[in-house]
Chains A and B, each alone.
Chain A
Amino acid sequence: MFPEPVSADESQSDPDGSTVSRLRPYLLTAGRTEPVDHTLEIEAQVQTTGLGATAYRRLAFEYREIVQLCTTTMSVAEVAARLRLHIGVARVLVADLAAQGFLIVQRPVLHYSQDVTLIERVIRGLEAIR
């Protein structure tokens, strides 16, 4: 099951609930700021799975938003920006969902800086920009 978000002390939550306070994001992640897989890169690609789409209704609000958003593939950084979360918080939530099989995460291949073929591919892609 999902960890239940710690409920915020009423006195500390935003009156209108419309902005993300500096406190709230960490409460969303049940006090954890280390993702389940704490090495998840901010450029890692995130995509909702069939399982995630099915589980959608059962999910807590913050998780639900991510599952909904990631029916279009995007990076962890984009998830953070679009949902106005700190990157660290987005990482935690994405890692939670991925651990449940609700999201596919395509991580970068590290040390590809040694991969000549890949770099040449990026060069060709950039050269095509006019």
Chain B
Amino acid sequence: MDSKPSAEPLPGARRPPVPVKIVIAGGFGVGKTTAVSVISEIPPLTTEAAITSVAADIDRTGEVPAKVTTTVALDFGCITIDEGLKLYLFGTPGQDRFGFMWHDLSEGALGALVVVDARRIDDCYPAVDYFEKIGLPFVVGVNMFNGILTHDLADLRWALAVDPGIPLITFDARDRLSVRDALLSVLRHTLSRTDAA
């Protein structure tokens, strides 16, 4: 009768799955949110990313610091891989000024997809630089708006000046299977890096 409540799962509940994640980075409006929403099994959620740097002063002074609100929307979705594994996709703006959240997102990530709009490729440089610096495997995915690639891929690679070892692919952020394949490219690239290590 008196079954003692415990810090165990509720009756009938499975233990939580292990989460894994892939980061989807790129400039504003390049298709990150579209890509997440087209493949996520939950409607993509948006939240405001934390400010992790304003911590201590609040306790000390009992006052709220004047400047606490460097927030940015973070889109994410998820895909159940199997009973014990769940893949999260985090879409993050690729601008320098949001760099403060990249560490949190990248820590432990399986890899990253840097989404590029061929009409304004500059937007992706901060993300490319960051992932190169921390050694996170990434793939550059050119989002083909309207299914049309306006530049030759070889020209794009030259313009992007990414390392020859970085895969450069095209995909359509509105197409579920195309996004799936882009994510598979990321994982295969990670795998090739793991094998090489």
Q: Which residues of A contact B (CB under 8 A)?
A: 22-23, 26, 31-34, 41-55, 71, 73, 75, 77-78, 80-82, 84-91, 101-102, 104-106, 108-116, 118-127, 129-130
Contacting A at CB under 8 A, from B70-89, are 71, 74, 76, 78-82, 85-88
The verdict on A113 contacting B194 (CB below 8 Å), with A22-B69, A77-B76, A129-B176 known, is yes
Whether A43 and B184, one on each chain, are in contact in the complex, defined by CB atoms closer than 8 angstroms, is no
**Chain B contact residues (Cβ within 8 angstroms of A): what range?**
35 or more
The verdict on A122 contacting B110 (CB below 8 Å), with A32-B58, A129-B39 known, is yes
Q: Quick check: is B51 within 8 A (CB to CB) of the other chain?
A: yes
Would you give the 0/1 interface string for B1-15, flagging 1 where the beta carbon is closer than 8 Å to chain A?
000011111110111
Whether A81 and B46, one on each chain, are in contact in the complex, defined by CB atoms closer than 8 angstroms, is yes
Main SS class of interface, B: mixed
Whole-angstrom distance between the Cβ of B20 and the nearest chain A Cβ? 6
Would you give the 0/1 interface string for B39-66, flagging 1 where the beta carbon is closer than 8 Å to chain A?
1001001111111101110110010100
The verdict on A33 contacting B108 (CB below 8 Å), with A50-B10, A129-B79 known, is no
Q: What CA separation (Å) do A43 and B54 show in the bound complex?
A: 22
Whole-angstrom distance between the Cβ of A68 and the nearest chain B Cβ? 12
Q: Give the chain B neighbours of A77 by CB distance below 8 A.
A: 45, 47, 74, 76, 88, 90
Whether A126 and B5, one on each chain, are in contact in the complex, defined by CB atoms closer than 8 angstroms, is no
Whole-angstrom distance between the Cβ of B124 and the nearest chain A Cβ? 21
Q: Give the chain A neighbours of B21 by CB distance below 8 A.
A: 43, 108
In the complex, which residue of chain A has the Cβ closest to the Cβ of B135?
A113
Q: Give the chain B neighbours of A108 by CB distance below 8 A.
A: 18-21, 108
A-B CB proximity, top 8 nearest: A88-B50, A125-B81, A101-B7, A45-B16, A81-B45, A106-B16, A54-B5, A43-B19
Q: What CA separation (Å) do A54 and B11 show in the bound complex?
A: 13
Q: What CA separation (Å) do A26 and B61 show in the bound complex?
A: 14
Whole-angstrom distance between the Cβ of A70 and the nearest chain B Cβ? 9
Whole-angstrom distance between the Cβ of A95 and the nearest chain B Cβ? 12
Whether A122 and B62, one on each chain, are in contact in the complex, defined by CB atoms closer than 8 angstroms, is no
The verdict on A114 contacting B197 (CB below 8 Å), with A46-B16, A86-B71, A120-B191 known, is yes
